[in-house]
A = this chain, B = another copy of it.
Amino acid sequence: MERADAAHNRARILEAAALLFAERPPQDVTMDDIAKKAGVGRGTLYRRYPDRASIAVALLDDHERELQERLLRGDPPLGPGAPPAERLAAFYAAMVRLLEDHSHLVLGSEVGRSRFETGAYGFWRAHVRALLSAAGTPGPDALVEVLLAPLAPEVYGYQRRVLGLSPEQIARALARLTRMLDR
């Protein structure tokens, strides 16, 4: 069980990191910055979070778990009960929402190509894979990554910030991918 001072410091660290990630690109936030802002020594920081990615993951955890919960047990069309194509569309809409609200965190959690290694990615993957199977789509394994790739935070950020597309435009384009479920 966690000691009171340790819990207190963890909270301070997460709070500081959230502020810093919000104000500049994640790769410009050093571990030292976070420690300073949290009023905590380097050793304390590294004890729990070996790198930036793990902090961002911790910050995202709540939001991702909530979405996962809704996918598993929520109301249709996000949850079980609706046709696969509609569920996929709902999933895309929810992911756009998540990216819009927390893209700086998601970006922060991606050092190199570690995106595929997080538990969350595995979950999204399994979910889409299941939808493809339910729809009877042939060769679902290769198709999963194709359907998930446009949700990469860099892609979303590029569309939003450089191309100036709206979340609605992006969501609409993604929704059209659901026709992949027709064999």
Contact = CB atoms under 8 A, between A and B. Distances in A.
Interface of A: 27, 112-113, 115-116, 139, 141-143, 145-146, 149-150, 152, 154-155, 157-159, 162-163, 165, 169-170, 172-174, 176-177, 179-180
Of A112, A150, A170, A180, most B-chain CB atoms within 10 Å? A150
A19 B49 CA distance: 35
Given A27-B112, A146-B150, A152-B152, A169 B141 contact: yes
Contacts of A174: 146
A169 B116 contact: no
B157 A145 contact: no
Contacts of A112: 27
Contact of A142 (B139, B159, B179): B159
A60 B112 CA distance: 20
Contact of A154 (B115, B163, B173): B115
